[in-house]
Structure 1
Amino acid sequence: MMALKSFALIIAIFAVVTSISHASDPSPLQDFCVAINDTMAHVLVNGKFCKNPEHVAADDFFSSGLNMPGNTSNQLGFAVTGLNVNSFPGLNTLGISFARFDYAPYGLDPPHTNPRGSEILVVVEGMLYVGFVTSTSGPNMRNRLFTKILHPGDVFVFPVGLIHFQLNVGKEAKAVAFAAFSSQNPGYNIVANALFGSHPPINDDILAKAFQVDEKIVDYIRSQFEWDNN
């Protein structure tokens, strides 16, 4: 009986460890691998070539400028200043990234997904209405919506891959938030852009049937996404 309990405990621990190991980027097997755009380099890790460790300096692990607000003069009233592996080479293989979010009054970070990383967000200025929608895979979790009003100092987490959003609901005031991600390159896929702004476009028949609307409505919505919003 004791052996059976021990075996069950080992299986449970293995399940937890396995789930954690698949929750973010693979763990590195070296201290660091500073990304470099040099095809003559000999080591390729997580899709990036590694800089010769002898040439690595403190500046490879340093970035500045997150004290500066982003430009929110766009249709959404929203700007993101991201620090992922593409802009911050020292993040390569570390499984983390960071971003600053700026919101104009009533600015919106539209419904989107981060397909490769969970996100933890903290508000430092203003008031945000945030939320995410679950998938349909769990019992009694069929597209369930979780929402919260956040004030400075409040923290909210968005699970990897789920559709989520943030809206500045402060009265005529800007908002600022910072977010950390469990991936060096979590990705950013706006749902509306993916459906109505894809290249080449998704067939009208498909979208009309999916949304149960006339094709003319699909054409109108598609026309609103003929601009670049990152």
Structure 2
Amino acid sequence: MKKHVVVLTGAGMSVESGIKTFRDANGLWEGHDVMEVATPEGFRANPELVLDFYNQRRRQLFEVNPNKAHLDLAALENEFKVSIITQNVDDLHERAGSSNVIHLHGELLKVRSTHDALDIQKWTSDLVLGDTCKKGHQLRPHIVWFGEEVPMMQPAINICETAHILMIIGTSMQVYPAAGLMHYVPNNTPIYFIDPKPAIESKHNLTVIDKPATTGVKEAIQKIITTVG
């Protein structure tokens, strides 16, 4: 039976592909206050602004490709059972070939009905006012906004509870509830934390690799294969 590697990824996973991390040092997302473009209240107040914001993000997605780290994780499935839990809303893990990906914060290439959160459909073009579900309700980005529940949280917890190895890539683990996932892996599970500016230090079962994803993931995989086989 293959060992189960669980991977948590954040914005730092995709930044080397050219995906912007949205939020800058001032807490603004592409020049917008987060409350304007990433909350239900912001959508109600100015839906056109919010739709345009995500249309721009969606367009950018077609201009980038998976990087070496995405490809290395996909290839890891040849040796291990791999589950990826990502905070990212891009599809770069899937395009790299990873077969088991959970998106905690939604997906740019999907939209859903404002009337029924379970009415979800794929979407690759711009989304505008007047685009409706089959029942006539406006469609919105399939994104988990601040203040909304994270519907994929429980499945992610269930996966973490079965981890033999945990990799954390490109995330500060500061955004909850996602940040709490590392506490659900079994005690003494080997953890590899990959980030160019880590906020934590290595200790008994935690190995910190202070490198960007494209080089840090390769190093972590080499360590895993050496120690686990």
TM-score when normalising by structure 1: 0.25
Q: Which has the higher strand share?
A: 1
**More relative contact order, 1 or 2 (CA 8 Å, 6+ apart):** 2
Q: Which has the higher helix share?
A: 2
